[in-house]
Structure 1
Amino acid sequence: MGILRQLAEYLYLKKKDPDAPKSKWIGYMHGINRLSLLMFLAALIYMLIRFLFLKK
């Protein structure tokens, strides 16, 4: 599975693979990965706004 496909699945942009193993622990892992990815994107957006528009 490619990295971009996995990211799309984390962000609900693409349907999950029906052949993938199902486990509550895998679900927890994907949830934590999704949360960390969203926090990283939020930090990038914050930094871009701060450096591009709030320069003194």
Structure 2
Amino acid sequence: MKGLFDLSEVANYFFRKKDPNRKSNFNLRTMHRINKLSIMMFLAGVIYFIIKHW
């Protein structure tokens, strides 16, 4: 059960440093922005649902 609520990977995704050796392009940057936005929207929805039904 403890592994289900481990949010360290999500936090690392948002706050990791950029790798200078990795090649970056527009598609990759856009994909990461969309992923971050969708994670934030999901967490906001979960928090809203918990507050509303508590």
TM-score class, shorter: 0.5 to 0.7
RMSD: 1.5
Q: What does the per-residue CA deviation read over 1:7-56, in whole Å, with 9 as the maximum and x for residues that have no partner?
A: 323x2x2212333331111001011111101100100100111111xxxx
Q: Pick which of 14-23 and 27-36 moved more.
A: 14-23
Q: Which runs of 4+ in 1 moved over 2 A?
A: 16-21
Unmatched segments (≥5 aa) in structure 2? 1-8
Partner of 1:51: 53
The structure with the largest helix share of the pair is: 2
The TM-score with structure 1 as length reference comes to 0.65
Count of residue pairs the alignment pairs up? 45
**Partner in structure 2 of residue 26 of structure 1:** 28
Q: Which residue pairs with 1:41 in the alignment?
A: 43
- TM-score of the superposition, structure 2-length normalised? 0.67
The answer to which structure, 1 or 2, has the higher relative contact order (CA under 8 A, 6+ apart) is 2
